[in-house]
Amino acid sequence: MTFVCRFVSLSLAISLLGLTGAFGASVETLEVVHKKALKEGGTLNFYGTLAQVNAEKILPVFEKQFPGIKVNHVDATSDKLVARAVTEARGGKTLGDILQIPLENVTQAHDQGLLLETNLPEAADYPAGLKGAFWVSSDLQYFIAAWNTNLVKKGEEPKSYDDFLHPRWKGRLIAEPRDLEMLLAFAKYKFKSDEKAIDYWKKIAAQNVEFHKGHSQLAELLVAGQAAACLTCYSHHYPSRIKKGAPVNYMLSEGVASINGTAIFKNAPHPNTALLFARWVASLEGQKVMAQGGRNPAHPKVDPVDKTKTDITYFITASDLKEFPKYDKIWKEIFKLR
């Protein structure tokens, strides 16, 4: 059905193009969408993992640019947000308008039939790997290594992931238990071999890694001195902490990148408000605001404000997602996680 609809609308758009001779005549401006959104009551239910420190710099800009719209930010970890949306759907309700979480979890919501397939005009600026039928990338996150400068001697700072195999790191490492992306990316892009990647992480497991849930908490634990180094931290967590004088530093020589995606809920209570936000956050302007708010924008023409991109990046693409279950199993076996 959707295919037919899209086909019809596409042919309609093409014939319109032919008639008017003006490219993009069928695209509504954000101002028009804003007017429609206001008629929906002026609320946007935003299910997103944006941490408060980022959200408070990003969401108010949107509210200011589109007066009369208030963002109700339901923030939790990504699996909690998907679980909540599934629970609500089970009761026959859709409360969320926008879902903005890691792509892996966006796909889970899509598998449950919760997301709208839509083609945002702003998506045209993005390369194929950063958009899909039901999502556009909002930002990227880089999994990197970081260390506590009080606990790591000068000259012993890690230069690459291989350095962590040195015995001096034994019992001094922390990581997030759910970051199977590291194994997947190492297998497919760093070593280009499952065997070598598994061997590497087994050796790391022998260093007695301590696991803590939540990347923000990992960063905070590292600042406090719970461990000397963190293996699977997010790069965008560090510049702000370093500016405050926290005794940490981070490694940008190599890392794993993964995608966060924005999607609109099917049957969203405020469909135009959702569309307005999805289009704004994907636009050049919205992406600049994301950068100002401390995230790594996905838009090819916008750079992050702080240095958070890695030199060598093992990029996890949308097509890698189907292999998550396989690597998840191996990751858990290596580290004896449940």
Partner 1 sequence: MTTATMPRTARVGFSLDPALLIPLVGAGVLIYLAVLPLLMLFIGSFQAEVAPREFVYTLKNYQNAYASQYTYSTFVNSLIFASGSSGLTFLLGTTLAWLTERTDTPLRKIFVPLAVVPLILPGVLESIAWIFLLSPKFGYVNVFLMNIFGLQSPPFNVFSLPGMIWVHSVGQVPLAFLLMVAAFKSMDPSLEESAMMSGAGTWQTFKRITLRLLMPTAASVLLILFVRTLESFETPALIGIPARIYVYTSEIYLAFNEYPPDYGRGGALAVGLLLLSAVGVWLYTRSTKESKKFQTVTGKAFRPRQFELGRWRWAGLGFLLTYFVFVVLLPFLVLFWASFLPFFATPGWDSLSKLSIENYRYLGTFRPFWDAMQNSLILATMTATVAMILTSLVAWIVYKSRIRGAWILDFLAFVPITIPGIVMGMALILLYVAFPLPIYGTIWVLMIAYVTRYIPYGMRSASGSILQIHSELEEAASASGASWWETFKRVTLPLLRPGLVAGWIYIFIVSFREFSTSVLLATGESRVLSILLFTMFEQGQVTVVAAIGVLMIVTLLSIVAIFYKLTGRIGIQT
Binding stretches for partner 1 (CB under 8 A): 45, 51-53, 56, 72-77, 79-80, 82-84, 86-93, 95, 105, 108, 112-113, 177, 211-214, 216-221, 223-227, 237, 241, 244-247, 337-338
Cβ nearer to partner 1, comparing 85 with 187: 85
Q: How many other CB atoms sit within 10 Å of the CB of residue 6?
A: 14
C-alpha Rg value of the chain to the nearest Å? 21
- Provide the residue count of the chain: 338
Structure tokens at 188: 């497919």
Cβ nearer to partner 1, comparing 30 with 89: 89
Minimal distance, residue 284 CB to partner 1, in Å: 27
User: What is the crossing angle of helices 52-65 and 271-282, to 10°?
Assistant: 110
Minimal distance, residue 79 CB to partner 1, in Å: 5
DSSP state letter for 269: S
Minimal distance, residue 63 CB to partner 1, in Å: 10
Are the CB atoms for 186 and 199 separated by under 8 Å?
Answer: no
Minimal distance, residue 175 CB to partner 1, in Å: 13
Cβ nearer to partner 1, comparing 21 with 92: 92
Residue from 41, 139, 56 nearest 97 by CA:
41
Minimal distance, residue 101 CB to partner 1, in Å: 11
Angle at the Cα of 322 (from 95 to 176), degrees rounded to 5? 75
Report how far residue 316's alpha carbon sits from residue 300's, in angstroms, rounded to the nearest whole number: 17
Cβ nearer to partner 1, comparing 21 with 91: 91
DSSP state letter for 293: T
Cβ nearer to partner 1, comparing 26 with 207: 207
Minimal distance, residue 303 CB to partner 1, in Å: 25
Minimal distance, residue 53 CB to partner 1, in Å: 7
Cβ nearer to partner 1, comparing 130 with 148: 148
Are the CB atoms for 44 and 273 separated by under 8 Å?
Answer: yes
Cβ nearer to partner 1, comparing 67 with 91: 91
Structure tokens at 326: 């396989």
Are the CB atoms for 331 and 180 separated by under 8 Å?
Answer: yes
Minimal distance, residue 216 CB to partner 1, in Å: 3
Widest pairwise Cα distance in the chain: 71
Cβ nearer to partner 1, comparing 140 with 233: 233
Report how far residue 320's alpha carbon sits from residue 132's, in angstroms, rounded to the nearest whole number: 13
36, 56, 171, 199, 206 from 165: Cα distances, Å = 57, 39, 12, 11, 9
Are the CB atoms for 259 and 273 separated by under 8 Å?
Answer: no
